[in-house]
Amino acid sequence: MTHVVSDDGRTLTPDVRRTSVPSLGATFNDVRRELATRLQGTAPVTSPLPLELLSRGVQDAPSLRDVEVLDANGMGVYAVADAATPPRFAAFLDGAQWSLALWAGGIPVVHGTVAAVIRQREDRRMTTWRKPVVRRAVYAPLTLLPLTWQDALSAMDLEVVDTLATRKPESGHPFELQEIAYQSVLAARETIEKALAEEWCESTTLDLFVDGGIAGSRKVARSTNVVGVVKSHQRLYASAAHLPMLMGLQSGERSSVVRVSEGKRTPVASWYLRLRDASGHDPFWGLVRVEVALSDTSASRALLERADEVSRWILAEALPLSVPDARWDKMVYGIRDCEEFLRAIQ
Amino acid sequence: MGRVVATEKRPNTAHEFHFWTAIDSPIGIGTIVRVDGESPVAGQVRRVYGVVVEGFSYTDLQTPIHDVLGHDGMPGSASLAATERAEIRLYTAHVLRQIPEEPLQPVPMGAVALASDEDVAVALRMDSYLQPGSNTGIPVGIYRAGAMEAPIYLDADFLLGPEAAHLNITGVSGLATKTSAVEWLLSSIFTHFPQQKGSVAAICFNVKGPDLLFLDQPGTIDDNDRAMYEKLGVEPAPFERVRYFAPYTAKGFTLNTLRSNEQLAHNLTPLTWGLNEVMQFAEVLLNKDDIDAKADAFIDFLQERVIGREFHETPLSTPHRVRSFAELEAFFRDLLRGMEDRGSGEHWRTHHVATIRKVRNRLSNISTRCAGLVTDEGTVSDLPFGSFQDRTVYVVDVASLEEDAQDLIFARVVSKLREHLERRDLGVSHVVVFVDELNKYAPGDGPETYVRKMLLDISERGRYLGLVLFSAQQFRSQVHRRVVGNAGTGLYGRMDMDELATPGYSVLSAATKTKLATLEKGQLMVRHPHFAQPIFVRFPRPAVLRGRDGAERFPQAGEIPLEVAVMRSLRQLDPSISLDWVKRTIVGHEEAAVLRARNVTVQTRPDRVQHFFEAQFRRIVPLDAPARPATVPIRALPSDDPYGF
């Protein structure tokens, strides 16, 4: 949860519903213009590119996690492909973010836009479910900012998030401050994605395909109509011994179901699935990790059958390709559609 | 329906804009749309009307190979795709009108809607001439988009003058579009031409087949046509008043037309001219390369001094009054014999005998080349110049005539129309002249001809007189530029792609050209001075009998004996005339004399037809026996002739 502090004591806790419609005056250029005015003509210096493109974003360190295998036979490989399985997912959820930094001397002030959308599929065509959520805010270490900046930000009609409210910097390096701000933007994005997914779970029993993990929300992680598909593999949920088997998955094969439990996150059932033939490609080509709700009897036959079933649903999304996106080997078209939609309303 | 969209690479301008729509929207090439601006300019929210001229469709694919790879090269597997690719329908529209018109700015962002009836009227500026009390709208067809139908009107002031005038229609042959469109439009004009603007008649030259020969007979139309007639306010009926004119065949028995069936003879009139009528237009028939300045001068002399007046001069043996080609021939015969007999040299009134012989040859030839139209004896049966009637169609059938005769008819009829309109005594104030096959009569290249000059003259000056040219052809690009250029209104039926590739169509978008190349029967693209862009409309099938059907239902009269031909002609004047009476009357008379008597009777239309007809023979055929020539006594032999017996 992202916290908000302002000088006048206003509570600026993110309210997804309230900020679901972009408000005028909150765009990056508007903020920059208004700051220039309030700072008496001194135009704030900006970074040339969004932080997402500057490789300043935070990434987990590559790691292997030993996990509990829920299959009675231990870690194994299962062929699940079945061309006859029809597409099942009724909707797709994805979020996006854009972060641009302004510099108050050596202090980064990050303008972040986060957005999330559910695109539902009816008669093979994609439309937006309810309304997309878009939220714009400024993320800054308020206490480190010059007073003129603090005054200017507090006087502006925009949401300001103090990035040091819950985390203290180790060194105070400007890039470290920027990274903290960036994490705050990520957290905001996760917040609205979670809220949207929960709204779906409360509204319908149709199956939802979520881009990324589902363990961040208890309600979502326990819903039987939500499937999370993770495309990044910085963290692999397998022991070193099982790694060769995992890397050797063939197209249409899945690994055994494991139990993934990370800190305060809700435990979920997870497995790896190879979507496409990786011949001639790196071992992660077409490899995704699937998350579904963990049933009460975690080793039940039903869970294993569900893994097969969900895998087939995902494999049924192999067409159309998500080209020209570079991650088309792992990304289903519904998620690409969400991304294009969010890019369009940015 | 859609939204305006503009990018840096594809910006909107004051004359063109782009918009996208839902995949299933009824927008198409030619659809009229309305853009409602979102931001007011000078206190007024802008509204823009446009017509769709181009459409694009694409997906989020960067290259087709991605789709091939995605389906493993198997097109059939495309149906297995879980989701259809995001797809766009992007249209380009040309601006028809902006409100307010000043300042003229690029089209703003805004919502796009299908134009309503009222929008169409405003977009095409029809609101300026459809005002109650000063309505000069002539329905040309119906514009359709989705479930909406809007009548499209032409402005009579810009169709029949005086502001602009003339109409040109082009399209491939065989679809009956050109002729049908003109027939429909004439019906519409006759119904809607405002009374306060005067009267209007039409002269149609039927240049091929039976196209225009059954305008007075009802044809077959369906419910769709009836609905269009109702919406456009025109009675779905054949023309009430039609008169047909055709020359005789070379033999002279019957009229040279496919509409020679006896049942339809009531409004069919012979078209025959004599020397007087032809000499004015001798230029049309005489080959310029053949007739030099000397011959020209002699022809002028004949026209001024000889034809139509008493003329007697050495070396002529008798006074001559030349009123017909027969009398002209007698004049020439007498003149040349006189020059030879009296040895008066090789010149007469400075004209060399060779020139005189040449002119004699060429003029005498006319009645042969135009046999059936031009008569030796000078009988005249003409169009009713001076008593033209309002809302009447006059069809001159020249389809079966030689080219020379066709040219002569065009030249004379149009010249006479012009003369009468200049004097304001034609009988009507506006005349629509319909000429098909303009490629032939006013080609863009080739030698200058009298007919082409005449068509140019109508195009450039006719509108001031009320002389309006409705022309049609297959290839507009091959017609003289000034003829089509002066046509204020242009109609385009289905076109050939080769024709559309010519420079004259470069202003049309590729999609518009494609639509033109695939137009159905009954569809037209319309250009009109009030319309900023061409508009596609549908028009109803004419409520007249199609030429081909008419020719089947009313077969052409075959070759008939002289007495039957005479009987049919005279029965138009007196139904009591019998074949026996005709046979008795003409027995013993030469064929030429009988025909001459018939022609004079038909032309005169006497009260006592039989008496008049018989009188022609009494006057022409000498009843008295020729006087016996005086007997020349044989000279007596000399008394001292030693060889006498």
Left (φ > 0), alpha (ψ -120 to 50) or beta: where does B141 sit?
left
Whether B60 contacts chain A with CB within 8 A = yes
Q: B407, B453 in Cβ contact below 8 A? A: no
- Give the relative orientation of helices B353-369 and B325-341 as an angle to the nearest 10 degrees: 160
> Please, which residues have CB within 8 angstroms of residue A333's CB and are 6 or more apart in sequence?
A317, A319, A320, A321, A322, B81, B82, B83, B85
Q: A148, A83 in Cβ contact below 8 A? A: no
Determine whether the interchain pair B82/A316 forms a contact, defined as Cβ–Cβ distance below 8 Å. Answer: yes
CA of A84: which chain B residue's CA is closest? B80
B94 pairs with which residues across the strands? B16, B51
Q: B51, B96 in Cβ contact below 8 A? A: yes
Q: A290, A273 in Cβ contact below 8 A? A: yes
Whether A323 contacts chain B with CB within 8 A = yes
End-to-end CA distance of chain B: give it in Å, rounded.
126
Alpha-carbon span B333 to B342, nearest angstrom: 14
> Please, which residues have CB within 8 angstroms of residue A266's CB and are 6 or more apart in sequence?
A215, A216, A217, A218, A221, A222
Alpha-carbon span A211 to B112, nearest angstrom: 35
Q: Which of A319, A324, A334 has its CB closest to that of B80?
A: A319
Q: Which of B63, B83, B85, B89 would best serve as a mutation to test chain A binding (most A beta carbons within 10 A)?
A: B83
Alpha-carbon span A81 to A308, nearest angstrom: 9
Q: Which of A319, A324, A337 has its CB closest to that of B81?
A: A319
Whether B84 contacts chain A with CB within 8 A = yes
DSSP states of B431-497 as a string? Answer: EEEEE--HHHHSBSSS---HHHHHHHHHHHHHHHHTEEEEEEES-GGGB-HHHHHT-SEEEE-S--H
pLDDT digits (tens, 9 = 90+) for B298-355: 888 888 888 888 888 888 888 888 888 888 889 999 999 888 887 767 888 888 888 8
Whether A286 contacts chain B with CB within 8 A = no
Determine whether the interchain pair A323/B66 forms a contact, defined as Cβ–Cβ distance below 8 Å. Answer: yes
Backbone torsions φ then ψ of B215, nearest 5 degrees: -65, -20
Question: Greater confidence, A95 or A45?
Answer: A95
Place B280 in a pLDDT band, splitting at 50, 70 and 90.
Answer: confident
Mean pLDDT of the region B267-288: 82
Whether B102 contacts chain A with CB within 8 A = no
Contacts of A317 in chain B (CB under 8 A): 82-83
Contacts of A337 in chain B (CB under 8 A): 83, 86
Determine whether the interchain pair B66/A121 forms a contact, defined as Cβ–Cβ distance below 8 Å. Answer: no
Q: How far is CA B9 from CA B6, B18, B400, in A?
A: 8, 12, 59
Token duo for residue B490: 């242009």
Question: Greater confidence, A210 or A38?
Answer: A210
Q: Which of B60, B63, B83 has its CB closest to that of A334?
A: B83
CA of A329: which chain B residue's CA is closest? B70
HEC string of A231-268?
Answer: CCCCEECCCCCCHHHHHCCCCCEEECCEEECCCCCCCE
Q: Which of A117, A321, A332 would best serve as a mutation to test chain B binding (most B beta carbons within 10 A)?
A: A321
Determine whether the interchain pair B71/A124 forms a contact, defined as Cβ–Cβ distance below 8 Å. Answer: no
CA of B65: which chain A residue's CA is closest? A323
Alpha-carbon span B363 to B508, nearest angstrom: 50
Place B631 in a pLDDT band, splitting at 50, 70 and 90.
Answer: low
Q: B6, B37 in Cβ contact below 8 A? A: no
Mean pLDDT of the region A65-81: 90
DSSP SS3 for B313: coil
Place A21 in a pLDDT band, splitting at 50, 70 and 90.
Answer: very low
Q: Is the pLDDT of residue B634 over 80?
A: no
Neighbour count for residue A139 (Cβ, 10 Å): 29
Determine whether the interchain pair A319/B62 forms a contact, defined as Cβ–Cβ distance below 8 Å. Answer: no
pLDDT digits (tens, 9 = 90+) for B403-428: 888 888 998 999 999 999 999 999 99
Place B618 in a pLDDT band, splitting at 50, 70 and 90.
Answer: low
- DSSP E strands in chain A: the ranges are 45-46, 63-64, 68-69, 77-79, 91-104, 107-122, 125-128, 133-140, 160-162, 208-211, 226-230, 235-236, 253-255, 258-260, 268-274, 287-293
Mean pLDDT of the region B618-629: 54
Backbone torsions φ then ψ of B606, nearest 5 degrees: -75, 165
Question: Greater confidence, B378 or B123?
Answer: B123
Token duo for residue A276: 């496409």
Alpha helices in B342-373 (DSSP H): 353-369
Whether A176 contacts chain B with CB within 8 A = no
Residue B342 is predicted with a pLDDT of: 73
Whether A313 contacts chain B with CB within 8 A = no
DSSP states of B14-42 as a string? Answer: SSEEEEEE-TT----TT-EEEEEEEEEET
Alpha-carbon span B182 to B475, nearest angstrom: 17
Q: B355, B348 in Cβ contact below 8 A? A: no
* Percentages of chain B per state (helix, strand, coil), in multiples of 5: 35, 20, 40
Q: A92, A208 in Cβ contact below 8 A? A: yes
Alpha-carbon span A193 to B341, nearest angstrom: 123
ipTM here? 0.72
Residue A2 is predicted with a pLDDT of: 34
Question: Greater confidence, A59 or A286?
Answer: A286
Sort strands B2-5 and A287-293 into parallel, antiparallel or unpaired. Answer: unpaired
Determine whether the interchain pair B70/A323 forms a contact, defined as Cβ–Cβ distance below 8 Å. Answer: yes
Residue A207 is predicted with a pLDDT of: 97
Mean pLDDT of the region A167-181: 89
Closest CA of chain B from A178, distance in Å: 33
Whether B614 contacts chain A with CB within 8 A = no
Residue B288 is predicted with a pLDDT of: 65
> Which letter does DSSP use for residue A282 in this model?
-
Q: How far is CA B18 from CA A145, B98, B146, B511, in A?
A: 47, 15, 20, 15
Closest CA of chain B from A162, distance in Å: 38
Contacts of A321 in chain B (CB under 8 A): 66-67, 69-70
